[in-house]
Structure 1
Amino acid sequence: MIRPLFLLSALLLTTLTSAQEVSPPAKDKFWLFLLVGQSNMAGRGVVEAQDKTPHARVLMLSKEARWVPAVDPMHFDKPSAGVGLGKTFGQIIADANPGVTIGLIPCAVGGSPIDTWKPGVFYPATKSHPWDDMVKRAKTALPAGTLKGILWHQGESDSLPNLATAYEAKLHDLVKRLRELVDAPQVPFIAGQMGKFDDVPWKPEMIIVDKAHQDLVKKVPNTAFVSAEGLKHKGDKIHFDSPSFRELGKRYAEAYWKMAR
């Protein structure tokens, strides 16, 4: 019984440690990233031990708006929240910059169409106001650090006949409004590709939305596109599995570094 008790104690210690509030470093040493979009940004992967292990210099803004060690699930939009791309992204950026701490600001809302990311819009599925709630969290977080980027993953809910063709204009408007909100007109904005799974053919509308994501780089300054080629879903044909979320986090980090250089 000694070994099981030891493992249980270690797990409890990790859980307690990850929930403790942490004082962030000086503003210029605290790099902030806003995580925005729908469920594939929030994360729906199965949580494993590595996802619950904090990195010494990667924090997240908790549901209660406290800075705590970043562990999955970082988001709290739905009970199904799990592993996402944020933690891996943060760890890679932190490892490449030993002198800084990374602060992740989770704001994604599962299922949210891009039209819900506007002031005053209520989203019944989660009984929330995606844009307004994000604004509150951003205003709480930003005074503590320096915003370095906005990560966006969304589009499935707009891949419909009556919505897809209008998506590009709405995406460009969203980038503009987000940059105005954070008073950073040149802050990097990175958009991720929707799942391109071998066993899930894309509808014509998804191709339209995907083109808007890919063309963002050519039409809006300081933006990047992250491919989802070769990644897998977790069995539901919509959400990435845990290894794919971690790989997606790596790809976001690579895209960020190309822009930062």
Structure 2
Amino acid sequence: MAVLLFFVATHAQQPKPDSNFHVYLLIGQSNMAGRGPLDSLSKQVHPQVVMLDSFNKWIPATDPVHFDKPAAVGVGPARSFAESMLTETTGKAVKIGLVPCAWGGSPVKVWEPGAVYLKQFYPYDFAIERLRIAMQHGVIKGILWHQGESDNDSAHAAVYLNKLAILIGRLRAETQQADLPFVAGEIGYFNKKELVINSVINQLPQQLRGTAVISAKGLTDKGDRLHFDAASARELGKRYAAAMKALQAKRGS
């Protein structure tokens, strides 16, 4: 009886996730993590936007949002995405929680259970662990994916869409939302290599419902022909938000 009372009391104390706390998972590689140079806008905070830090604590969202490579991280699409998602919300009740889990340089093949990256990191497992923590507090409303630079060749591109579809299926099963909105982004058109992967990524909406792809056309790099500069990273975030809103509107949530 004592054990039963302890079980009931323990679970009764656990608060339900806040339906007005909208959680978004950010996954992929360096352009999702952000490599744009930090600037005067980087430390500005929005009172309704927070991020899950490396200690799994919610803190005000500032750049860099990610921490995959501390010496390299900078401005990414996360904060502009979150702020754009708030522009049409009713009142000030909604808060956005960003869950940064991207890993610079990670190929799509390491985004599966148990897969190791750089001999010590487990991108998928890490993301699931943090997603579960975030979902204790809020409601997962969507996933942002920016990845493809490491798979931008004919051999990897040939199996890319299937691997991405499996990843989306796993994440939707984890969240128990069969149509959880998933938005992918094209890689920069300034890329050093011939663009092979974008045409593959753009097939996603025809393969899986509840998905969208945003264009990277017109965006500029920071001088390395690989990473978006700060202004373009922020514009990318706005494009993610527009696509996410459209998917949520179709879904009715």
Asked if these proteins are the same fold (TM beyond 0.5), I'd say yes
What displacement does 1:89 show? Answer: 0.4
Residue 125 of structure 2 aligns with an amino acid whose one-letter code is D
Specify whether residues 27 and 224 from structure 1 end up closer, same or farther in structure 2 by C-alpha distance, changes over 3 A only: same
Matches within 5 A, 1:148-227: 148-197=141-190, 200=191, 202-203=193-194, 206-207=195-196, 209-227=197-215
**Correspondence 1:102-117 to 2 at 5 A:** 102-117=96-111
Deviation string, structure 1 residues 29-59 (Cα, Å, up to 9, x no partner): 1000000000000000111121211100001
Is 1:255 the counterpart of 2:243? The answer is: yes
Query: How does the TM-score come out when normalised to structure 1?
Result: 0.85
Q: Which residue of 1 aligns with 2:6?
A: none
Checking the alignment, whether the CA contact within 8 Å between 2:17 and 2:136 is kept in structure 1 is no
How many residue pairs get aligned? The number is 232
- Specify which of 234, 238, 245 is matched with residue 233 of structure 2: 245
Report the AA paired with residue 89 of structure 1.
Answer: F
Cα distance in 1 for partners of 2:84, 2:220 equals: 21
Classify the secondary structure of the residue corresponding to 2:246.
helix
Summarize the alignment of residues 17-28 of structure 1 with structure 2, pairs less than 5 Å apart. 27-28=18-19
2 CA distance for matches of 1:192 and 1:45?
16
Distance in 2 (alpha carbons) for counterparts of 1:62 and 1:103: 11
Q: Is 2:137 the partner of 1:144?
A: yes
What pairs up with 1:55-66 in 2 under 5 angstroms?
55-66=46-57
* 1:44 partner SS: coil
| CA distance, structure 2, for counterparts of residue 48 and residue 34 of structure 1 | 24
1:91 is matched with which residue: 69, 83, 91? 83
Shift of 1:96: 2.0
Give distance in 2, aligned partners of 1:90 and 1:61: 13
Query: Which structure has greater helix proportion?
Result: 1
TM-score (normalizing by structure 2) = 0.88
Higher relative contact order (CA 8 A, sep 6+): 2
Kindly state the Cα deviation for residue 202 of structure 1 after the two structures are TM-superposed. 4.6
Secondary structure at the residue paired with 1:36? Answer: strand
State the Cα deviation string for residues 194-253 of structure 1 (Å, max 9, x = none).
Answer: 0012xx5652xx32x212211111110000110000000000110000000000011011
Q: Which runs of 5+ in 1 are unaligned?
A: 1-24
Percent identity for Structure 1 against Structure 2:
43
Q: Which runs of 5+ in 2 are unaligned?
A: 1-15
Distance 1:215 1:192 in 2: 12
CA distance in structure 1 between the partners assigned to 2:34 and 2:154 by the alignment: 26
- Secondary structure class of the residue paired with 2:145: strand
Aligned-pair CA distance for 1:99:
2.3
Q: Structure 1 residue 180: deviation in Å?
A: 1.0
> Which stretches of structure 1, 4 residues or longer, exceed 2 Å deviation after superposition?
none
Q: CA RMSD, aligned part only?
A: 1.6
Distance 1:163 1:93 in 2: 33
Deviation at 1:95, TM superposition (A): 2.7
SS of 2:42's equivalent in the other structure is helix
2: distance between equivalents of 1:218 and 1:116? 24
